Chain A
């Protein structure tokens, strides 16, 4: 795969979700991401149209993991383009099966790792940085977030496409060797420790004093964690904020403030 094609696919992969639809989810973004490679493999005409049509079916995965799937599918499409007849049909059917299986598997893994562990860790580190180094806070908190989340995510995309294409169907075995579960656990605990450290310091108390909020704030944090155990799907920060605003209004109306 030429570097220009790889770059084009990675660039287009950034827009994987922009055409997200309820019906086929990331299908349009996925087809657009693969288009440069499909154009290399298949000459204009029925074969290329069939290739595009194959990738317009429903597709959904974690956007950071999508390049791995793209690499595997690209390798299988390439092998199919070099063959004819039943062998080609079998390879294309295999590509379709693998695409669906990898998208589902990597979707779960990617969501748990990138959004359930790495991003909370990056956010917690950036928040803690605001408390630790208030003088240079804008620079350091932003740098921490970019370095801790942005860099690994970009690397995962770049290497994911490369390894997926190089390993083809063997990518599943290679992924199993990655100690993702251990990394996730470590990142989650580190995120929790950093979050509690930020809470201990009053979050932004050194940046902007907000006196009197520490005790009720800690109680709200504890309540949120407890409620989150019982109703994780229903409890969101926005809803808790609305409840706090309404509670404050009621308290104000009752003369408690």
Chain B
């Protein structure tokens, strides 16, 4: 599902957080949290992926946050962790884009040798790289759930107050982002 990222591969709507969040939430048994996380992650990832800019990957964010929330982690902490993992995904993808800079030149070298480059293989490798990265991050979210739960329970009140305020205001911040993206007023 993280493949269906508008700034990446498989440009379809099925991986958008507003589609995936409620549906995945319903499948996992809590569509309300799925809807709420879907709304927030969707609105947070509306920024236009113009040129080389990578907006927050809402698909990774909603999958990771839901993975944590349905396993019992408090929703404010799950959202923060999901957004953090989506940010990490974006950093790694950004580095990968830099590393891929020589790939077209390598194809040209292959052409110069009188052979045809296997463009499908290059695409498949990039797709697999994304799948593995997303799987690793979601696996990490799954594995870290007990540690995160313990940290949340032991966290001082003022830290929890911060995440709870962020959770409460997140839909409003998202709506502000929507109005900004639509350039209205």
- The yes or no verdict on A and B being binding partners is yes
A246 to B162, CA, bound (A): 6
| A221 partner residues in chain B, CB cutoff 8 A | 172-173, 175-176, 179
The answer to whether B18 and A195 touch across the interface, beta carbons within 8 angstroms, is no
- Residues in chain B near residue A35, CB distance under 8 A: 119-120
The size bracket of the interface on A is 35 or more
Whether A224 and B176, one on each chain, are in contact in the complex, defined by CB atoms closer than 8 angstroms, is: yes
Q: Say yes or no for A5: interface residue by CB 8 A criterion.
A: no
A-contacting residues, B51-73, CB 8 Å: 51-52, 56
CA distance A48 to B110 in the complex (A): 13
List B1-30 residues whose CB lies under 8 Å from chain A: 6-14, 16, 18-19, 22-23, 25-26
Any B CB within 8 A of the CB of A116: yes
B31, B119, B120, B166 pick with most chain A CB within 10 angstroms: B119
Q: Provide the B79-97 mask, 1 if CB < 8 A to any CB of A, else 0.
A: 0100100010000000001
Tell me if B180 and A203 are in contact (CB < 8 A).
no
Cα–Cα, bound, A56→B14 (Å): 30
Instruction: Write the chain A residue with the least CB distance to B26.
Output: A138
Q: Chain A interface mostly helix, strand, loop or mixed? A: helix
- A143 to B32, alpha carbons, bound, how many Å? 17
Chain B interface size range: 35 or more
Q: Are B97 and A141 in contact (CB under 8 A)?
A: no
B177 at the A/B interface (Cβ < 8 Å)?
yes
Whether the pair B47, A236 counts as a contact (CB closer than 8 A) is: yes
Q: Closest chain B residue to A228 by CB distance?
A: B180
B residues adjacent to A (C-beta < 8 A)? 6-14, 16, 18-19, 22-23, 25-26, 31-36, 38-39, 42-44, 46-52, 56, 80, 83, 87, 97-98, 100-105, 107-108, 111, 114, 116-117, 119-120, 122-123, 126-127, 130, 157-166, 168-185
User: What are 22 A-B contacts with C-beta separation under 8 Å?
Assistant: A22-B98, A22-B101, A28-B100, A28-B107, A52-B111, A126-B42, A130-B22, A138-B31, A138-B35, A199-B172, A199-B175, A203-B171, A204-B35, A207-B32, A217-B171, A220-B169, A225-B179, A237-B56, A245-B80, A245-B165, A251-B162, A252-B158
